[in-house]
Amino acid sequence: MAFVQLIEYTTSRPDEVAEVYAEWERVSEGNRTARRALSTRDRNDPNRYCDIVFFDSYESAMENSELPQTQEYAKKLTELMDGEPTFRDLDVVDDREL
d(CA 1, CA 92): 7
- Domain assignment present for residue 97? The answer is no
Residue 20: pLDDT band by 50, 70, 90 thresholds?
very high
- Domain assignment present for residue 65? The answer is yes
Residues of the domain holding 67:
3-91
Burial (Cβ within 10 Å: 0-12, 13-18, ≥19) of residue 1 = exposed
C-beta separation of 89 from 8 below 8 A: no
- Domain assignment present for residue 63? The answer is yes
C-beta separation of 17 from 11 below 8 A: yes
Is a pLDDT exceeding 90 seen at residue 80?
A: yes
Is a pLDDT exceeding 90 seen at residue 1?
A: no
What pLDDT digit, counting tens, does each position of 21-77 carry? 999 999 999 999 999 999 999 999 999 999 999 999 999 999 999 999 999 999 999
Domain with residue 28: its CATH number is 3.30.70.100
Domains identified in the chain, total number? 1
- Domain assignment present for residue 67? The answer is yes
- Domain assignment present for residue 96? The answer is no
Q: How far is CA 45 from CA 8, 12, 35, 40, 55, in A?
A: 12, 11, 28, 11, 28
- Domain assignment present for residue 79? The answer is yes
In this structure, which amino acid lies at residue 7?
I
